[in-house]
Each structure stands twice: as C-alpha cells, then as structure tokens.
Amino acid sequence: MGRVTARHKVVRIDLDGDVSRAIDTVAGEEPLEIRVNGETFTVTMRTPGADVDLAHGLLRAEGVIRSRDDVVSARFCSDLDTLNVLNLDVPGGSVARAATGTRNLASLGGCGLCGTTAVEAVEEVVASRPPDMVWAAENVAGALDELRSRQTVFAKTGGVHGAGLAPADSNGAPSPSSLAIVREDIGRHNAVDKVLGAALVGDVTTAGALLVVSSRASFEIVQKAAVSQVAVLACVSAPSTLAIEAADRLGVTLVAFARDRRLSVYTHTHRIPH
C-alpha cells in the first residue's frame, strides 16, 4: 500500500517576483484492484487508506452486497509487491445481483449512457426511499464547516476531497452532533464510498442521515447516497442535471452550492425547513 501523502521538490515561479525552490506535500494516488471471489470487479484510482471501507461502500452502491454480513472476508493479496489488490469473498447469490444492478455505471455514467436508463438501473438496487428526516439548515451548514476543519490531508496537500456522515440519533431524529465518520480521497466518489463503507462495517445507521461532500453533486454520488437511504446530500459545488433528476426520483434531498452559510436545495425541499 502506498502513502497517503508524499514530499516532492517544487520550483515556484512568481511572474511578478522571484523563483524559489521548496518541498511540497502532495496527495498520494495509486490504483486499487477490487476482486470479488478472486475475479476483478473494478480498478479505481484512490488515495491509499481505508481500502476495506472503500470496497464495502462501492459494492453496496453497486448492489452486490446489502450488509456487512454478505462479505465473508476481505484480504489484500500479500504475494504482490504492493497491497493494491483487495479480494472480498462474497456468497455467489450476492454477486449475481450485480448483473441487474449498476455495476457498469461508474465507467459509463459520465460517457453518454442515457440518463433515464441510468436512474432506472439505480432504482432496481435501492431497497426503499430514505425516511423523511428533517434537517435544520444550521445543522447542514455546521456539518460542512466541520468537514472542512477535519480534512487533515487536504490541509497539507490541497489535493483531496472529503466526505462526512451525520447519522440520525437513536430516536430517529436528526442529530446536531459532530460527524460520526469523515474520510478523504483524491476521488470524490472514493471518499463517499469510504464513508458509507465505514458505516456499513461499523454498523452505523445511514437511513435518514446527512451526507456532506466537498465536491460537485454528481449522479454517482446521488446513487451512492440513495442506496444507503441517506436523506440529505449536501455538496459544496454545483449539481449536474442528472444528479437532480436522480435525487428527485430516488427520494434524496439534494443540496448544492452549500458554502458561506448559503444552501441551494434542489429536491425534496420539505426536509430542510425554510
């Protein structure tokens, strides 16, 4: 397994000033091959770390597993020079579900696949709509502020995305407390998979939860939120048309441009009183 960060020499050129040399801290990026029952499922570029969480989150989003009990074991292939190949043993019946799920959407979703077809494929995997949990706008903004404060790798490198999960409390009410899980990765979708995978492995309830992400709101992130029954997805940057369509049909409250204490709520606005 590679490093989360690395130090590199850099020449800094100021067109109105001097040229200087320095040492920069940069974000790590390496491929991770995820195998299911010994067969390659996908290869993703990621920041090393929390790889088991990432794999669980991805497999849940793609409809391969529904709970942590579906995975018998998760082991790195230690006979290789690097720990960049992770094999998960999953009962055959669980793997079969991927054939009618969204296994190929990660590679096709941004490359011309029909939007309606993509959303319909996700609908086949989503067990049920998120509960109608109400989240105060102040709590959404506060969660995003906390996410920024806890992005330690971003603070060093400026090169990774972050995601955080605020679950509903034990009584089913939204919690104003701190984020239960925060993860970072060079890929925004990987950061989300790591958070939702950690919730799955750690038995943290995602139904009705608030998911905050330091990126734009894309279809694939809405997909992952919907499969985990996240009630509110808040992203700091712009939404795409397909993200809005998917969130509307899948029952997710989509918040975008969530920064500077401003929120733009695009779907299912009843969950955020205004």
Number of Cβ within a 10 Å radius of residue 78: 7
- DSSP-assigned beta bridge partners for residue 184: 162
* 46 belongs to an annotated ligand binding site: no
111 is known as an active-site residue: yes
Set 77, 111, 114, 235: catalytic member: 111
Inter-residue contact 154 to 47 (CB < 8 Å): no
Q: Return the structure tokens found at 52.
A: 């088991």
Q: Which two tokens stand for residue 249?
A: 């049909």
258 marked as part of a ligand binding site: yes
Helix ranges, the chain (H)? 51-61, 92-96, 105-108, 115-125, 137-149, 152-157, 188-201, 219-227, 241-250
Q: Phi/psi of residue 21, each to 5°?
A: -115, 145
- CA atoms of 58 and 103, how far apart (whole Å): 9
246 touches 224 (CB < 8 A): no
Would you list which residues are annotated within the binding site? Answer: 257-262
Residues with active-site annotation: 111
